[in-house]
A and B are shown apart, each in its own frame.
Chain A
Amino acid sequence: MIEPLKVLIIEDEALLAMELESLVEDAGHSVVGWATSSAEAMAMADATEADIAFVDIHLSDGPSGIDVAKYIGERKSSTVVFMTANPKRIPDHFAGAIGVIAKPYTMNGLTSALRYLQEGVRRPPPVSARPAGFTLSPAFETAWAPAA
């Protein structure tokens, strides 16, 4: 059994955050915090220990998710995975994030992504197939999925 993940949710839409929390917990992981704005997110990143931060780009204070990702990336407190309906807004370098789960994801797509991330974070590189709707950043593409 691989050790489960501690997850930080940064999402301004309560309904989505709520459902994401349930799915994360159903998959055996734990949610250590939920933030809706960039300020809240940065404070929470400092105060908690998470393995993965799911970061929406659109937060309650605007499209500040990228700044949050940069902030978390500099501190190396956890690793960011973007979760957005607008993947085209992500800069080419992904601000240090692992990749992006494009919204709308399917329930199974998210569960598979969690498994993939768990393997990748705990015992890289991941062994399961990369789920549909999940895109790796160029840096993690090299590390986790080198071209065959």
Chain B
Amino acid sequence: MEWKRTREPADAWHMTDDLHVEHGKGDPFAAAIRATRMSMIITDPRQPDNPVVFANDAFLRLTGYERHEVLGKNCRFLQGPKTDKAAVEQIRAAIEEETDVSVDILNYRKDGSTFWNALYISPVSNDKGDLQFFFASQLDVSDRKHSESRINADKDRFEKAVKERTAELEAALDAQTTLLHEVDHRVKNNLQMISSLIIMQRRTIRDEGTRRSLTTMLERIEALSTVHRRLYQSKDVSKFDVADFAKDLVTDLLTASGRAEISPALDLQPIIISAEKATPIALMVNELVTNALKHAFKSKPDGMSAGRLGIKMSQPDGHLNIEVSDDGIGMADANGDASFGMRLIKSLARQLRAEIEWRDTGPGTKVVISIPNEPQEKGNVS
């Protein structure tokens, strides 16, 4: 659009010179400006207070004023109480610096109603570079402004809704975490109580066989306790490190047995399994280690000679391999499948879809378990 250029050749502007004196009816350029639907005015900065010297019909239609009401006045009559001060300041500064400016500003009609005005002002100079006029066009963008503010309101509403929902979810998560802590706390306390009950019961019993039974039971429950303690020490309660568990278990059982002549040989890779496998694996390892301690070194010919109890854990190709070995008397004389411990081991192996094999290693026994394991996730356990 021609009139948006700030520095026009002087001969183009003699036509607009004519405009403000309301002559030049035959000038097609002036006629176009008069008749266009775009609201336009021209002000004269050389007169005091930069008054309007020309306004086209579109401007009068837009603002509701008569021509004689606007000519000779400064444009600020369009402003009102809700007009943004910053926008006004922006216009003032542009006029002072004689540069063009484009700003959305809330203006008031004669009847007091408001409209959003996409105002564009540009200075017009003659060929010597002296400022002659300011040219201003007004476009009613109330519709755009309203939909903008509707979109903003929608956005605010959405953001508020999202914030509320997030707060709700966070509260629910907090409640869940508290519940999890509470349940975990109770499980562990109850396991402690069960152990305590067994220990207290055992104290009252004289019969050696019954005492041994209670001890075996205590060992099994303590294996579960160790699982629970370990499970909750990790950052991720859904994962469990079997190697850490085995270390705790063997140390514990060995010192508890008081048999300093048996030395542990641990070869443990950290192996992470999912929490639901923790209990069966822990119970199985407990059975094998207690068996070795109880049976393997029972009647070595030289009585208290040194023994070795080995646990090896490795993880080749998606399997978890556990080996529990001893260099004791071997299992040639073992009385087969009738006993509870063996049945427990075999059932747990079935539950885990594990293969289990007893090897006579002369001297001693090696039990090899191979459990299918899901792909390992690294670095989950503290």
Contacts and interface: CB of A to CB of B under 8 A. Distances in A.
A48 interface: no
A132 B226 contact: yes
Given A86-B181, A102-B229, A13 B189 contact: yes
B184 interface: yes
Interface stretch (A15-23, A38-46, A69-77, A91-99): A15-23
Contacts of A106: 195, 222, 225-226, 252, 256
A90 B226 CA distance: 20
B93 interface: no
Q: Is the interface of B mostly helix, strand, loop or mixed?
A: helix
B185 A102 contact: no
Contacts, number: 79
Contact of A19 (B185, B189, B200, B255): B200
Q: How large is the interface on B (under 10, 10 to 19, 20 to 34, 35 or more residues)?
A: 20 to 34
A18 B222 contact: no
Nearest to B245: A132
Contact of A108 (B184, B188, B256): B256
Given A85-B188, A86-B181, A133-B229, A107 B218 contact: yes
Contacts of B199: 19, 22-23, 107
Contacts of A105: 192, 225, 229
Contacts of A103: 188-189, 192, 229
Contact of B195 (A85, A102, A107): A107
Interface of A: 13, 15-16, 18-19, 22-23, 58, 85-88, 102-109, 111-112, 129, 131-133
A23 B195 CA distance: 12
B193 to A, nearest CB: 5
Interface in B193-209: 193, 195-197, 199-200, 203
B251 interface: yes
Contact of A15 (B191, B196, B228, B255): B196
Contact of A104 (B197, B228, B256): B228
B181 to A, nearest CB: 7
